A and B are shown apart, each in its own frame.
Chain A
Amino acid sequence: MTHLITAVAGNEWRILVRERTFLPGAIALLLLLLVSLAITLERYQAVHEKQHEHTARADADWQAQPDRHPHRVVHFGDYAFKPVGPLAHFEWGVEAHTGQSIFLEGHRQNAANFSDASESTALLYFGQLTPAFVLQTLLPLALIFFGYGAIARERESGLLHQILAGSPSAAPLLLGKWLALAAAGFAALLPLALLALVAVVTTPEHALRVAMMLAGYGVYVLIWSGLIVTVSGLARNAHGALLGLLALWIVLCIAIPRVLPELAGQRHPAPTHVETQLLAEAALREVGDSHNPDDPYFNAFRTQTLERYGVERVEDLPINYGGLVMAEGERLTSEAYAQASERVFGQHARQNLWVDRFAVVSPHLALLQLSRSAAGTDTEHYIHFLRASEARRYAMVQALNELHTYEIAFQNDRDQRLGAAAWDAIPRPEYAPPDARFALARSSGALSILLGWLLATGALLSWLTRRLERAHGN
């Protein structure tokens, strides 16, 4: 059986490379892969350099601050950067639209900056040409053109009847053709495998992510190869097989991956960033305004503080009341923003859940999720970065408010300065992306869907084997 399968696969390969369509198709695919790789590597380099430069500049600016009031530092702000992982240049994911850096300052949460979408008109018009797009969307199309006639053409010419009349079973024939077509797909994955190897060597902690990605794309190629052989085996002729497969490609790779997220967005609408800001500010206004001397909340806060310290006036407090008000105001602001943000994150999670539930109908969608998750460029990784950045921002601002409270006197508050050495004690941790287990947990559903599709493809081929054998009396 094994030698028959390899014989069929070898023969299919020989036929494939001698087809007039193979060489131009393979070259076009290879060129697209190389161009997309070149583009993304350049982008990776540019983003990496830009982040490096901005980090160095932010550090230098932070260190170069003169003696100043701590609240000036709160408004001077700082930057948080989401490092670009080694697989992110293969799969941009949502980062092209979300950006990878955030300006951290007091009293507000900012959105991420420096997204490719905001810097590239071409991206807004044409979307991304990434290696992931080429492999997820264009590789199945190339495999369709390579393999649509695998069985249909043999049926048309009479070869199928002739071969099955002399063969004990159709199974080696179908398995061999599946293997040959999958081998063509695996060949297209070689650049990804090389990048993966480099990623594993340079950053061993990414090995699990690399393994997830390679497994996902490998299974995807097997699924498409099996579907192509199945449809080719069911079609009456090669023309019908091609039309059927193109329709399948449009549904699985174009329509569903675009329609489902759109429907999810309509079903669970998430507010825009501006709407989130407005919601947070409205919530804040309901709680209290630290700048309004007659605000009931802050009047009560002052009374409680005076009682705690057993004094009549804020001027008599052993600490700077202005700093306390700033800290309380920041706490309230952060809570309001956190609630508004969590509402947005919740809607995103519900959208993702809704898409996940229906991703079972498209292996393309499942691979998209797996690929982005493994690359660390999906929504969950982005939200992880936003939460970590917010935690850093809050810690920084409250540390400065603490300096304000304890190191600046209430009298002549605004005229006082602290030495630049004080800023060294402010926490400025670099963002640490989650480890691969985070990605694995997020994409286990997608991986299960892909494996389910693979099993279904195997079952379809098994059914086709019996059908062909019945049709030819085996």
Chain B
Amino acid sequence: MLELHDIHTYYGNIHALKGVSLRVEKGEIVCLIGANGAGKTTTLMSISGVTPPRQGAVTFLGEDVTRCTTEKIVSRGITQVPEGRMIFPRLTVRENLLMGAYLRKDKNGIKAGEERAYELFPVLRERRSQMGGTLSGGEQQMLAIGRALMAQPALLLLDEPSLGLAPMVVENIFEIIEQINAEGVTVMLVEQNAQMALQISHRGYVLETGAVTLEGPAADLLADPKVRSAYLGLD
């Protein structure tokens, strides 16, 4: 479904991604784990076209999207829940959700999507006229996921959904991610919380200083001695 072929991304002169290749198959949850500064967020931003790669290719559903604008990429079916959630603080919860459906024209579909978001996250319904900035961290993460789903993505990119959240809330969020996946949305998950991420993923990639150093089925990575010591804090 999605394939990155040897992509190189730069911030000015800083060579952030040094040839990342990976693929995501339809229906999968794939996670990308790695330490701070390994290039996980940059990988997602390169897929979304916010920091387009200078070399290499991104193909989605058989089409080259490397040079597409973010708008085009969203309209093809890739949406992202960015790191730190990036809720619009002075838009209401409802307006935040509607922004997620910005490219959709079907009024009834948008309405149904909004209902769906409230079903997934009932707390958002209660808070729908509140400003996004007044929500708690967990609620903001729910809103960010709900907002991304409003675009009816084929592929959902999630950047650190567990960041700064209480363990109970993290568990709840991960359950929802599995549920969304079960309903047919392919998920690519970036996490520092490698344990949680690998538990719900089908496959995983380990990123170190801008390159993939390890990949395989999530269960294998969970058992891998290197992963266990470096990312899971075990052994």
Q: Do A and B bind each other?
A: no
